[in-house]
């Protein structure tokens, strides 16, 4: 797990978009699942994120707060999504399918690297966009990458769950200021 929350948030946004789309093409679970996988690949290619080396106990211990934040944030996003879709089974199904699509590449390569640890170090994983470049980064560069991933995740949480309520809260006050 490195940027689990980022993939879950983007998968949730894809599923939410699909559920609200008028195009029936997006109302199919395989469509949003595929879009989730594509989003995972694009994010991993475009933004090299902090990756925890599960086979290095020292690094794993240093990354514990980051992992706790990722796990807690992911739990919050999933709980919020499940609660908000209780009355809309299509939205729930599409959002879950997109989230699964967005995280399945990490699950596949994670299981593969547990079975074949040398694949983790050589970058010979199943998903071609995953590589072992983090092994060549000094720890301080990896730490900066951890903070960048954390800030990006926090930004996505804000956009997904806080921006609309904030805009609704502030918009009457702005129109009040304009009329004075």
pLDDT exceeds 60 at position 118: yes
Is the model's pLDDT at 114 over the cut of 60?
yes
Contact between 59 and 146 under an 8 Å Cβ cutoff? The reply is: no
pLDDT per residue as tens digits for the range 16-55: 899 988 888 999 999 999 999 999 988 887 765 556 666 6
Find all residues with CB under 8 Å of 103, minimum gap 6, and list them.
Answer: 4, 7, 8, 11, 36, 40
Residues 54, 64: Cα–Cα separation, whole Å: 11
Highest mean pLDDT among 48-57, 101-110, 113-122, 170-179: 101-110
Task: Tell me which of 120 and 71 has the higher pLDDT.
Answer: 71
Among the residue ranges 8-12, 82-86, 97-101, 127-131, the one predicted with the least confidence is 127-131
* pLDDT, average across residues 120-140: 66
Query: For position 165, what pLDDT does the model report?
Result: 65
For position 143, what pLDDT does the model report? 53
Is pLDDT larger for residue 59 or for residue 1? 59
Tokens of 139: 């720890």
Q: How many domains does the chain have?
A: 1
103 lies in which domain range?
Answer: 4-179
Evaluate if residue 176 carries a pLDDT over 80: no
The string of pLDDT tens digits covering residues 132-169 is 554 445 544 555 566 666 677 777 777 766 666 666 66
Q: CA-CA distance, 168 to 180, in Å (whole number)? A: 20
Which tokens hold the place of 17? 């978009």
Per-residue pLDDT tens digits for 54-94: 666 676 677 777 778 788 888 888 888 888 888 899 999 99
């Amino acid at each position: 797990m490195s940027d689990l929350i980022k993939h879950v948030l983007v998968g949730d946004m894809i599923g939410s978009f699909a559920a609200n789309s008028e195009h029936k093409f997006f109302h199919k679970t395989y469509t949003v699942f595929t879009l989730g996988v594509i989003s995972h690949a694009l994010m991993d290619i475009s933004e090299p994120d902090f990756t925890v080396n599960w086979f290095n106990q020292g690094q794993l211990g240093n990354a514990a707060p980051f992992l706790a934040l990722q796990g807690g944030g992911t739990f919050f996003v999933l709980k919020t999504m499940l609660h908000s879709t209780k009355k809309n089974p299509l939205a729930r199904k599409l959002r879950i399918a997109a989230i699964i699509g967005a995280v399945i590449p990490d699950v596949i390569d994670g299981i593969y690297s547990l079975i074949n640890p040398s694949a983790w170090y050589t970058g010979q994983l199943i998903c071609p966009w995953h590589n072992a470049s983090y092994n060549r980064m000094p720890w301080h560069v990896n730490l900066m990458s951890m903070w960048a991933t954390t800030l990006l995740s926090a930004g996505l949480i804000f956009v997904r769950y806080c921006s609309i309520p904030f805009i609704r809260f502030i918009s009457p006050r702005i129109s009040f200021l304009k009329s004075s």
